[in-house]
């Protein structure tokens, strides 16, 4: 039989957020397989009004007129049977939000492959993008892996790396890796069709874990070196965000959430970590252990976000204290 007459793969796609929607879009644009079903997490309340909102993957699937399934989990046999009835050759998974049980992984003839936002075996788990930035890693990437019952422990099929810039945030890196993941998934399927996909076992001794984020991790410790503070703030942006409790108002402590900023001058003599030390280029200067940190946007609790100068003039009741920041290398000391 000619190559062009080979039976097209029947695949089921499993994913939930924007990251997964990028992979589904690339898959549909490619058109080299038949997507017979799309699985995502159930609609959940979102925003201040707590209105149930369809996840991005569901919206894209509905636009493409694909059948959508949203089981809470696969503990009910009826949900497993429903998936089996689709008779998929392969499961394609990206940020589904659920660890798939063996009963599900054994349904497709070719198993399941996953799009993971790290260079496995580093950063297995729920928050690989954020943790890589928070740890100050210079590079990350995408891994296409064969799934098994363990957490991100399966064989590596393809990998592609991407440098992490000094101003990258979790949001900006997420968006680029989402696109990269979709393209690499299609590459993997093309190589699979050509019989050129090689499985490489992970080196489990090198494995690290990217635990789920918590809001408490957003508390800023200004006693840390400025590069550590910068990495944590940008790694937690936009969620859960970075904050500290400020005692700069008489008789009142105010919680301030900050946006990622830039590394400033060495710490002036007599200035202590956590102190607000004027403004420069419309950013508030806050002291860390070794240098000033220039914050462009601050959001006081129960208030709208303010530009640095707006906050400084309004909450400190003075607009003097401007400083000029000297150009500094990306990593102080280089």
What gap in Å lies between CA 153 and CA 95, rounded to an integer?
15
* Distance between CA atoms of residues 327 and 323, nearest Å: 13
Question: Is the Cβ–Cβ distance between 64 and 28 less than 8 Å?
Answer: yes
Residue numbering of the annotated binding site: 118-121
Q: What is the DSSP secondary-structure string of 253-285?
A: EEEEEE---EEEEEPPTT--TT-EEEEETTEEE
Question: What would the two tokens of residue 159 be?
Answer: 């990998």
d(CA 222, CA 225): 8
DSSP string, 196-254: ----B---GGG--EEPPP-GGGGB--TTS-HHHHHHHHHHTTTTT-EEEEEEEETTEEE
**How do 90-94 and 68-69 pair as beta strands?**
unpaired
* Alpha-carbon span 70 to 198, nearest angstrom: 32
Tell me the two tokens of residue 31: 């058109």
Burial of 206: CB neighbours in 10 Å, binned 0-12, 13-18, 19+: exposed
Helices 170-193 and 18-30 pack at an angle, to 10 degrees, of 30
Which residues are documented as binding site for (6S)-5,6,7,8-tetrahydrofolate? Answer: 118-121
Q: Are 133 and 164 in contact (CB under 8 A)?
A: yes
Distance of alpha carbon 286 from alpha carbon 276, whole angstroms: 5
């Amino acid at each position: 039989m000619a190559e062009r007459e080979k039976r097209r793969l029947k695949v089921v796609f499993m994913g939930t957020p924007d990251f997964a929607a990028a992979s589904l879009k690339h898959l549909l644009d490619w058109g080299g397989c038949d997507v017979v079903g799309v699985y995502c997490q159930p609609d959940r309340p979102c925003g201040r009004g707590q209105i149930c909102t369809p996840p991005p993957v569901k919206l894209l699937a509905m636009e493409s007129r694909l059948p959508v399934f949203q089981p809470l989990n696969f503990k009910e046999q009826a949900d497993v049977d429903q998936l089996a009835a689709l008779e998929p050759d392969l499961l394609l998974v990206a940020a589904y939000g659920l660890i798939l049980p063996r009963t599900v992984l054994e349904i497709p003839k070719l198993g399941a492959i996953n799009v993971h936002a790290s260079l496995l075996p580093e950063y297995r788990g729920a928050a690989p993008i954020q943790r890589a930035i928070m740890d100050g890693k210079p590079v990350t990437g995408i891994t296409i892996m064969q799934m098994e019952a363990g957490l991100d422990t399966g064989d590596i099929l393809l990998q592609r790396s991407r440098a992490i810039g000094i101003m990258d945030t979790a949001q900006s890196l997420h968006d680029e890796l989402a696109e990269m993941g979709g393209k690499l998934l299609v590459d993997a399927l093309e190589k699979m069709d050509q019989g050129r996909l090689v499985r490489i076992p992970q080196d489990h001794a090198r494995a690290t874990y990217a635990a789920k984020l918590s809001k408490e991790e957003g508390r800023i410790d200004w006693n840390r070196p400025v590069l550590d503070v910068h990495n944590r703030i940008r790694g937690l942006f936009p969620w859960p965000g970075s904050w500290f409790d400020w005692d700069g108002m008489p008789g009142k402590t105010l919680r301030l959430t900050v946006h990622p900023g830039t590394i400033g001058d060495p710490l002036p003599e007599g200035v202590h970590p956590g102190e607000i030390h004027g403004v420069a280029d419309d950013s508030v200067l806050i002291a860390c252990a070794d240098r000033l940190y220039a914050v462009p946007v601050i959001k006081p609790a129960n208030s709208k976000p303010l530009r640095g100068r707006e906050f400084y003039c309004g909450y400190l009741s003075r607009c003097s204290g401007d400083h000029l920041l000297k150009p500094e290398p990306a990593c102080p000391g280089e």
